[in-house]
Amino acid sequence: MTRKYFGTDGIRGTVGQSPITPDFVLRLAHAVGRVLKQTQTHPTVLIGKDTRISGYMLESALESGFNSAGVDVVLLGPVPTPAVAYLTRAQRASLGVVISASHNAYEDNGIKFFSAKGSKLPDEWEQSVEAFLEQAPVWSASAQLGKARRLDDAAGRYIEFCKSTFANDLTLKGLKVVVDAANGAAYQIAPKVFHELGADVVAIGCAPDGLNINLGVGATHPEALVAAVKSHQADYGIALDGDADRLQLVDKAGRLFNGDELLYLMAADRIARGEVVPGVVGTLMTNLAVELALKQKGLEFIRTQVGDRYVLQALQEKGWLLGGEGSGHLLALDKHSTGDGLISALQVLQACVASGKSMAQLLSDVQLFPQVLVNVRLKPGQDWKSSAALAQALKSVEENLGDSGRVLIRASGTEPLVRVMVEARDARLAQASAEKLAATLENEEAVRAQ
């Protein structure tokens, strides 16, 4: 069964356009409430949000929808997405709800859900919700309506949880850290976490006005963090995205480290401390250099589709703990049930403090391969997967690359594009190979040869 509303990470879109309208969100919450009532007499859900101005409107709609189905609501206010996952578990709630469009601009917003265990919900659950959306609402009788309240000190509880994942015998004293919260959900929380662990904190991107989330700051605009680290002569820079589940890190030299590098660092640190790390999960886009470096340490490495939900699914199937994406979504399942930018940053800083080494030193075994990405717009009706010319060009490129590179060709999920990615030790070889494959796709002869 295909899903009409749910994408790879909840429901997302432009505010005021379907489905991100107050009437739909009310119906959505009512449908979710009816799904919950199938197995629970009086469910309770937690609702958190980021700092978008539309969060007020959508929060009210969710509250009304849940209450109308006989579900109690606990409002958390602006907190990171992973905070909702944690508090849902800690409060023994039935469900966690997040109002956020993550790294998107303020004009967008979205709704996503966490299970009682603080993890993403399966496709079957989303399909059940969509089935109820197609039905007429069944309003609860007045005596059975849900109630709403606020959770006192939701932010403080999550701050303590984050700090608990950092080694008790270590401190960040003596370190100056720039923290960029993208004017998003962690704007109050992130600076306090690092300050309370001893760091001298310089906060940027921590003054939300409802319209400036992710605007020129945060994990998707790390140039602001790099500049701040240099100007303040800081030891580290930490950038989160709007809902704080994504991370980018900068060292004192202003070098930016992406999620692939940080994933390797976290795995290598655990091995150095004598922990057993059976394997690591990445995605189709994870840099080949990281895969090779992990395998040199004797670790199994597997790739999933792009998306942290697929990484999480693979980790659960394997019984492993570490996985992530180059975008900075990192998972350490012995620390949290979902990707968490703050906790991932603490894991990296802990490795640096404990070893007395910089991130660059801890990553001396990893030299990222150049990646070249070319987008090719498809012609109407073009069946690129059946192109004999493309298959021949791909075979030639892969033979030329050998073990020193790889090719990934995939369709865009949102546009009529094919994305051609080539990765190789030699940047010029990667560029030439990507251009060859793209030209084959664009060539009319390739279309006629299908």
- Active site amino acids: 102
Burial of 81 (0-12, 13-18, 19+ CB in 10 A): buried
CA diameter of the chain: 72
Spell out the residues 6+ positions from residue 9 whose beta carbon is closer than 8 angstroms to its own.
Answer: 102, 110, 112, 307, 308, 309
Rounded Cα distance between 157 and 192, Å, is: 12
Specify the long-range contacts of residues 375-383, CB closer than 8 Å, at least 24 apart.
Answer: 375/412, 375/417, 375/418, 375/419, 375/420, 376/417, 376/418, 376/419, 376/420, 376/438, 376/441, 376/442, 377/416, 377/417, 378/416, 378/417, 378/418, 379/447, 382/447, 382/450, 383/450
Pairing of strands 322-324, 279-283: parallel
Degrees to nearest 5, angle at CA 436 with 432 and 439: 135
Rounded Cα distance between 318 and 310, Å, is: 12
Helices 22-37 and 123-133 pack at an angle, to 10 degrees, of 120
The token pair that represents 403 in the structure block: 């073990």
Question: 78, 104, 118: which is closest to 11 by C-alpha?
Answer: 104
The token pair that represents 99 in the structure block: 């109002």
Pairing of strands 371-377, 417-424: antiparallel
Amino acid type, 335: K
CB 228 within 8 A of CB 202: yes
Residue 37 backbone phi and psi in degrees, to 5: -70, -15
Rounded Cα distance between 98 and 149, Å, is: 16
CB 113 within 8 A of CB 45: no
What is the rounded radius of gyration, in angstroms, for the C-alpha atoms of the chain? 23
